[in-house]
Amino acid sequence: MKTLRYTVAALTALSLSALPALAEKISLNQLSAYLNDLKTAQADFTQISDDGTIMTGQLMLKRPWKIRFEYDQDKTLVLAEARTVAIFDPRGNPQPETYPLGKTPLKLILDRNINLGRANMVVGHSYDGTATTVVAQDPEHPEYGTLSLVFTDNPVQLRQWIVRDDAGSATTVVLGALDSSVKLSNQIFDIGVEKERRSR
């Protein structure tokens, strides 16, 4: 656990150290507007699991409801589409493990309309002199866990997030440069298409 804390701290410092100091905390209204305007995005990412395991890959996002994680190390593929999350085994099993997106904190940034000012959604909103962090939860289901989002300003950009599940395990995703101008086909998020491809 100590190794994980040091690793996360080092990666956070690395991702934010080259940025200028900010004047003040970014408001929830500004952050909601930014996330609602973020229709598509693509970035390299580094993921740090609760046990200290580090993996890298590429993230693709298309709101609402769609996200794709391609992992470099073992070719695991995670897709979210139509409010379902599917994890594809790199050994080639065409039938993925699936579960509802709505039961994960990540749905909070994939919703059609994001309102961080909604009652009981934000349980933390802080500023460390460089970045603004928002800790959010589903107001109707706080038992599903929390999502911590880290943003920098000038312009506002999402830099990383930390998912904490109902068991208290944390997974941190540190984002590289976020390309929000990219055009992404719906097909790359299609769970059925991926099942068919793997069954051939």
* 168 close to 146: Cβ distance less than 8 angstroms: no
- pLDDT, tens only, 56-109: 999 999 999 999 999 998 889 999 998 899 999 887 677 899 999 988 888 889
Residue matched to tokens 């299609």: 190
pLDDT above 80: residue 127: yes
Q: What is the pLDDT of residue 63?
A: 95
Structure tokens at 8: 């996360």
Q: What is the pLDDT of residue 82?
A: 84
Number of residues that make up the chain? 200
Query: 25-42: string of b/e by CB count within 10 Å (b at 16+)?
Result: bbebeebbebbeebeebb
Coil/strand/helix, residue 154: coil
The mean of the pLDDT values for the chain is 88
Residue matched to tokens 């999502």: 147
Ordered by where they begin, the domains of the chain are: 2-15+25-117+168-199 (2.50.20.10)
* 148 close to 161: Cβ distance less than 8 angstroms: yes
pLDDT above 80: residue 193: yes
Of 99, 136, 144, 103, residue with least CA distance to 118 = 136
What percent of the chain shows pLDDT beyond 90?
Answer: 73
83: left (phi over 0), alpha (psi -120 to 50) or beta: left
Q: What is the pLDDT of residue 74?
A: 86
